[in-house]
Copies of this chain bind each other. A is one copy, B any other.
Amino acid sequence: MADKLNVIVICGSLRKGSYNASVARALPALAPPEMAIKSAPGYDKFPLYNADLQAVGNPPEVIAWVEAIRAADGVVIVSAEYNWSIPGPLKNAIDWASRVKDQPFKDKPVAVQSASPGLVGGSRMQYHLRQALTSIDAMMFGKPEVIINFANKKIDEKTGEIADQPTKDIITQQLAAFAKFIERVRA
């Protein structure tokens, strides 16, 4: 057990019924045996990023989020796409973390997933997020991608569970490949 890869999952959407929150909750059961996945602390209490505020001191929620990322062997970000890009609240959290001393994404393996009711499944967010995280020296996992389109048909509205086997399969494949990636690239 001590040797399990410690992975945290960050959800890019704050609403209760979020498809991406549903996917995030499904990850632990789909992870390979050598990987343990738990939720990252919330970032919903972060103030809007302002360097003047940060100069006074990082809010405790920011510190908790940063420390959880720092302690993890890897991070999975499961996010909606807002307006063909990264949701503002998620980007705000990354902006806070990126300017903390010894920012936690450096050399951190990160995998990305997205779900949306639309045709392209939030994928446009993924390429912007890859670019943003590359700028802060994350080790971005490549493929397979997890892009869950028409999420309203693949996630059970009542239970919030993934009701589509191919979706579960691709997640399972990505997490297994991500485990190998972490082993390969971690410093």
Contact = CB atoms under 8 A, between A and B. Distances in A.
User: What is the count of identical protomers in the complex?
Assistant: 4
A95 interface: yes
A130 B147 CA distance: 19
B83 A136 contact: yes
A152 interface: no
Please tell me the size bucket of the interface on A: 35 or more
Contacts of A86: 85-86, 91
B120 A85 contact: no
A120 B135 CA distance: 13
A96 to B, nearest CB: 8
Contacts of A124: 123, 127, 131
Interface of A: 13-17, 44, 46, 48-52, 82-96, 98, 119-121, 123-124, 127-128, 130-137, 140, 142-143, 147, 149, 184-185, 187
